[in-house]
Amino acid sequence: MSEKLQKVLARAGQGSRREMETVISAGRVSVDGKVAYLGDRVEGTEQIRLDGHQVKIAAVDEQACRVLVYNKPEGEMCTRKDPEGRPTVFDRLPRIDGSRWVAVGRLDINTSGMLIFTNDGELANRLMHPSHEVEREYAVRVFGEINEAMLQTLRHGVKLEDGMAKFDKITYKGGEGRNHWFHVVLSEGRNREVRRLWESQEVQVSRLIRVRYGDLTMERRLPLGGWVELGLKDVNYYRKLVELPVETQSKVKVDEKRIDNNKSRKIRKNVKKHQQRMAQGAQQTRRKKR
């Protein structure tokens, strides 16, 4: 049976389905030597190339769905390559054979916390799509005077430049003076939406951390810059959430514990090694420029 070209490319880990639609529309994909068009369908036996490079097509039942949770630090870009040479979230991730990691949404450069990656572009696309209303929870520190009228406005809805937006839930977590911590929940991922909602009330966001995606919360023992691969139970939680068939294979041992102190220390060591390699690379680049 034939499938839409963008769906096949997404499953091959080339990006989300939405990203692949853009790539196809730009004329960057060919099928059996001919430029592909949006709406084309393929059987899976064709030779498909993206930017001239052959794409290895995975059958639905061949590729095990994998999911990583990454604790993004501030200062990293949610892009594969940055023209200004800034670090990206993909720099630290493990290599994956025959595919590549796709980010489930983005966090801006000044936002830290839970970022999900998968090798299944269809899963990424559905988790991001507003129709599935997957909850995202953020810890946010705001600076300014806050009153109940403002909070009610944020709960009921604010008109932003790209339409109405609101927080599904706001919970006060304490603070001192004009600095206050809240946990906020919303079910979509528009660009800088949390910051823009608070700014509409003339208060400034000074810290923003994503702590939950769906019902899964990022473990506190996961260090900044560290990642952990989810086991089969959690992978299938996300798949069921967006109405995809369950996965039966996993790279993670069934009886493997979540992050304990020993595992946390190992992750910290790996993060430190990566930072040292990045620093050495930056020094070499500066020397070449002299």
Hey, which residues are catalytic here?
A: 108
The widest CA-to-CA distance across the chain, in whole angstroms, is 65
Phi, psi of 185 (to 5 degrees): -125, 135
Closest to 211 (Cα-Cα) out of 199, 203, 202, 219: 219
Task: Name the one residue in this structure whose structure tokens are 């801006």.
Answer: 108
State the DSSP string of 19-32: HHHHHHHTT-EEET
Residues whose CB is less than 8 angstroms from the CB of residue 98 and which lie 6 or more positions away in sequence, other chains included: 13, 56, 58, 63
Displacement of CA 205 from its chain's centroid (Å)? 21
